[in-house]
Structure formats: structure tokens, C-alpha cells
């Protein structure tokens, strides 16, 4: 796989897939979406992290940086291996068409997964049995994850600082052995769930590779405080002797979010990481590179310098910047993974040092049309984008392109004397067919084609933008704790007309070079 050639793809979260009850998963709908991508001439499927989601449904605040969420396990695939009965599938409601019902999915699917794991223990010869030994050997993290999940169930909270048993809270080995002996069945349950996901994921990945479709994944820079990572590796984080956070991660205000953001995630003790040769990070990135063909490094700026905030809001301490591991970190990563395809999410408060770090390792940066568009100028911002970059209309953190355009129209009414609104039409005029009326739909298509035409080698479009969906389809609103990560695709919108349109645009702008990378 080569990120230095003109290619295009679609951003489509696994949870947003259609067809499966209540929540997208690795079942038949994932394969149908891969078929859609191939018929549309796309070569990249970008996803959000597949780690376990938190109570707000965010995959960026997970209880584990290594594990996957069992929600994504296909029950149909378990039925095909004889681990579930037909009745187990027929009694599940489909749920709303355009919304993911996480809580209902968790409750209903967990009961089926328990049946499947019980059947797995009682039988042999399935593809999951055949993969078990290799899986356990290659994923040593899974034991700690399974024990942590069992402890969360036992104590009723993932906040390990509130566990009432001091020895278990402090991960005392003797206490853990005693707990594990008494709860082995539950620990095995969580272990087998990760096995189920791993086998199903690899099958989908190979199916996509055979069709010339690669996966772009995501490594969130920070981890949740309520995680197995902080519980078992607290020395790697800025925590006090009780496990509470000394400082937390966040960002100061910028044009995207004037009030800034507090992520309430623990900061790393980078000196300890350095002394260990960044071993935890190497394991983490290694796992991501197994799952994905290219990896987006979330909040890339944090590797150059990170914003340190007090655990509680304080008028006399708004936070400050601290140098990150920078060159030494990436020298170590690329020495271990010389062929790693890494993308720098270089958005936010940038400075020269961040760009120099990105360019030193030839990482593609990211250019977002919504961020670059500026009515106060009359030159084409997209023409300034570098070839070595990922270009897009928006991200999972922006509003949909259609909703952004609504805001543009509103701004025009408010500030017409000051803003050059004709700039937009001048930019996209040649990308709207001559015989097409200049209306909302053709303008949105023109913007997409404009981004397609730009110099950036990798063009990725949120599925919502390709469909022209309104703000109700927005995936995430940063800084808002509720109402996020819920959008789900209505499969009826994947029409032959959309396929042909996307395929035509991809070919028109030289992004349709097929490269079958099956097997590697």
C-alpha cells in the first residue's frame, strides 16, 4: 500500500453500518458496504476507533486501547458456526433506521454472546477454536483486559480508584490470582469475545483487501482514566499515589472551539515512557497496524507539545504547553515499524515545530475544506494543499457539509458587506456540470468534486457528505457530552446513481488506479 499516489475513500464508522440489529457490526452489511466501495471506485475505508465505547458512546475514551467493543461482533457469523440458534437472531428488533441504539444493543447482544461463548466452551472445530491458540499467543494484553472487565462487573464501576478492595485496586498479583480463580468463567467470557472479534475482523479485512480496499484506522492519543491501561500501568501516567490524575489533557481555545476543551484524560509521564523504550506505545501502535493498513495519529500536535491542565478548573491555572517526545518517539516507532503508513492529524493549534516534525518523517497531514474556506479571501485555498496530505470535506468532529452550507447561507445574510460570497461559486463553478441547475445539491457536489480535484493524494469523504445529509447526521460535536456518535446509515440511500456518480468523479480526477494488495 502506498499513500503517495492519488486515491480516494469514504469515512464510515463501523457502528453506523446498516442491516444489523440496533448497531452496525462485522456482519453481512459490512461486506455489502465493501462491495459498494469497490463498485464506486474507492480504495480506502476510513473508520473511527473500534475500541470499547464509554457511557457517552465515544470510542475515544475507552476502557482499553487494545481491545475491541463486543458490540461489533456479528451474531449472524456466530450462528453460521453453530454457536447460536436461529431463534436467537429472529427475536432481535432492528431498531431505528438512522440512529444507533447502543444501550439496547448492549443488553440484547450480551445475552446472545453469553450463549455463544458457552457453546464455544462445550464444542470444538469452529474457526474460532482453530484461531484460539494463535490469538492468545499474539495478544498478551487480552488477559489483563478480561480481568479488568470482570472487576468492573464485580465492583460496578470502571473507575478503579473507587474499588473497595485495596489489593485489587492496586493490582496486587496475589489478590489478582485469587480473584481470577474465583471468577475464571467470567474472565474466559471476556477473552472469547475478543477472539470472536479478531477472527471476524480479519475475515472482513481480507475480503476488502481482495477488492483493493484498505482500512484507515485511528489511534487516539490519550486513554481514559477509567481503563485497564491506567490501572495496570499507572506509572506511565501523571497520577498520584491513589491513582487520581495530577494533570489532565485538553486544548486551549481556537477558532474551532473558542472555549477550548477539557478531555479529563490523564497525561503521560513521557520520561518513564522514554526509559522503557516506549514499549507500551510500540505494542499499541503494533496492534493498530495489524488492524489497519494506515493509521491516523489523533491530535498529532500532542507528540510535539501537549497542553497540561489542572484536574479541577482553576482561575489561576488555565493550563500550559509542555514539550512532548517528538523526534525520539517517532525514531523509535519507525525503527520498529519501518513500513508503517502513518497520517498526522495536524489540526488545532499548530506551530512551526509541529509541521517540521510532520515533514521530517514525511507523514501526510490533513486538510479540511470547512476549515480552509474563508470568504474574506479571493484565492483558491485548496490549490495550496500539499500533495502529501489527506484532503476531505469534513471529519467526524465537524458538521455535515450540507449543514455547513446552511451556516454559510446564514452568515451571508448577516455579513454580506464584509464577506465575498461569490468566492464559493467562483471556486466550484467549473465543477458543476454546465447543464445542471445551480442549486443546493449541485453546489454540494461541486464542493466534493473540488476537493477531489485538489493536489492532496488521499481524498476521503464522510458518507454523510456524499449523501448531502443535514446536521442530524453529524457524528460528534466536540465539547458536548451527549447526543453524539449516533448516526446510522439508511442502506436505501446507497443507490446505483450514487455509485456511478462517485465512480465517475474518482476517475475524472485520477484517483481510480486499482492496486490489488491481497495478502499484504
CA 17 to chain CA mean position, Å: 14
First to last CA, the chain: 8
Bridge partners, residue 250, by sequence: 262, 307
Distance CA 192, CA 153 (A): 16
* Active site (annotated) includes residue 298: yes
Is 107 considered catalytic here? no
Q: Are strands 389-392 and 365-368 parallel, antiparallel or unpaired?
A: parallel
Would you say how long the chain is, in residues? 520
Record the cell numbers describing residue 184, joined without a space: 475464571
Cα distances (angstroms) measured from residue 253 to each of 285, 300, 322, 354, 423: 29, 17, 17, 18, 28
Burial of residue 183 (number of CB atoms within 10 Å: 0-12, 13-18, 19+)? middle
DSSP 379: S
159, 298, 411, 491: which one is catalytic? 298
159, 172, 397, 411: which is the annotated catalytic residue? 397
C-alpha grid cell for residue 220? 487516539
Angstrom CA distances, 18 to 146, 459, 468, 487, stand at 29, 24, 18, 10
Q: Which of 218, 229, 293, 345 is catalytic?
A: 345
For residue 316 the three cell numbers come to 489561576
| C-beta separation of 490 from 468 below 8 A | no
Tell me whether residue 327 is one of the annotated catalytic residues.
no
Residues 6+ apart with CB under 8 A from 442: 432, 433, 436
Which cell numbers hold the place of 429? 463553478
Decide: 193 and 270 in contact? Cβ < 8 Å. Answer: no
Q: Please list the active-site residues.
A: 298, 345, 397
Amino acid at each position: 500500500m502506498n499513500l503517495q499516489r492519488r486515491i480516494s475513500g469514504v469515512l464510515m464508522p463501523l457502528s453506523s453500518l446498516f442491516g444489523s440489529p440496533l448497531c452496525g457490526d462485522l456482519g453481512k452489511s459490512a461486506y455489502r458496504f465493501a462491495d459498494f466501495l469497490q463498485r464506486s471506485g474507492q480504495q480506502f475505508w476510513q473508520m473511527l476507533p473500534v475500541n470499547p465505547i464509554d457511557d457517552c458512546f465515544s470510542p475515544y475514551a475507552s476502557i482499553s486501547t487494545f481491545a475491541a467493543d463486543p458490540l461489533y461482533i456479528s451474531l449472524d457469523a456466530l450462528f453460521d458456526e453453530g454457536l447460536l440458534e436461529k431463534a436467537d437472531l429472529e427475536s432481535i428488533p432492528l431498531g431505528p433506521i438512522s440512529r444507533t441504539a447502543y444501550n439496547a444493543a448492549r443488553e440484547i447482544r450480551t445475552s446472545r454472546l453469553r450463549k455463544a461463548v458457552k457453546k464455544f466452551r462445550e464444542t470444538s472445530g469452529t474457526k474460532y477454536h482453530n484461531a484460539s491458540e494463535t490469538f492468545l499467543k499474539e495478544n498478551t494484553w487480552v488477559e489483563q483486559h478480561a480481568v479488568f472487565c470482570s472487576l468492573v462487573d464485580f465492583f460496578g464501576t470502571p473507575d478503579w480508584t473507587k474499588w473497595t478492595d485495596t489489593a485489587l485496586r492496586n493490582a496486587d498479583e496475589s489478590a489478582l490470582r485469587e480473584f481470577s480463580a474465583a471468577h475464571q468463567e467470567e474472565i474466559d467470557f471476556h477473552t472469547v469475545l475478543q477472539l470472536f472479534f479478531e477472527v471476524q475482523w480479519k475475515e472482513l479485512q481480507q475480503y476488502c483487501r481482495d477488492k483493493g480496499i484498505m482500512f484507515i484506522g485511528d489511534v487516539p492519543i490519550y486513554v481514559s482514566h477509567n481503563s485497564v491501561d491506567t490501572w495496570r500501568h499507572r506509572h506511565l501516567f501523571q497520577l498520584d499515589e491513589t491513582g487520581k490524575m495530577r494533570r489532565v489533557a485538553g486544548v486551549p481555545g481556537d477558532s474551532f472551539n473558542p472555549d477550548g476543551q477539557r478531555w479529563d484524560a490523564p497525561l503521560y509521564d513521557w520520561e518513564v515512557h522514554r526509559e522503557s523504550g516506549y514499549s507500551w506505545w510500540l505494542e499499541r501502535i503494533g496492534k493498530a497496524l495489524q488492524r489497519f493498513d494506515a493509521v491516523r495519529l489523533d491530535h498529532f500536535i500532542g507528540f510535539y507539545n501537549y497542553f497540561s491542565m489542572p484536574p479541577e478548573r482553576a482561575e489561576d491555572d488555565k493550563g500550559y504547553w509542555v514539550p512532548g517526545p517528538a523526534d525520539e518517539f517517532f525514531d523509535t516507532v519507525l525503527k520498529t515499524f519501518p513500513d508503517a503508513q502513518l497520517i498526522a492529524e495536524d489540526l488545532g493549534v499548530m506551530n512551526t515545530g509541529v509541521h517540521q516534525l510532520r515533514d521530517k518523517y514525511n507523514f501526510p497531514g490533513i486538510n479540511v475544506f470547512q476549515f480552509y474556506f474563508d470568504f474574506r479571501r479571493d484565492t483558491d485555498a485548496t490549490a495550496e494543499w500539499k500533495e502529501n496530505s489527506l484532503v476531505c470535506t469534513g471529519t467526524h468532529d465537524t458538521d455535515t457539509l450540507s449543514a455547513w452550507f446552511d451556516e454559510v447561507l446564514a452568515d451571508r445574510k448577516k455579513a454580506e458587506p464584509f464577506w465575498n460570497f461569490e468566492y464559493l461559486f467562483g471556486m466550484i463553478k467549473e465543477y458543476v456540470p454546465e447543464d445542471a441547475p445551480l442549486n443546493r445539491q449541485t453546489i454540494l457536489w461541486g464542493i466534493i468534486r473540488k476537493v477531489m480535484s485538489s493536489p492532496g493524494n488521499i481524498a476521503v469523504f464522510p458518507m454523510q457528505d456524499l449523501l448531502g445529509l443535514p446536521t442530524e447526521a453529524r457524528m460528534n460535536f466536540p465539547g458536548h457530552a451527549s447526543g453524539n456518535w449516533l448516526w446510522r446509515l439508511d442502506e436505501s440511500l446507497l443507490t446505483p446513481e450514487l455509485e456511478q456518480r462517485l465512480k465517475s468523479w474518482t476517475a475524472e480526477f485520477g484517483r481510480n488506479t486499482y492496486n490489488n494488495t491481497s495478502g499484504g
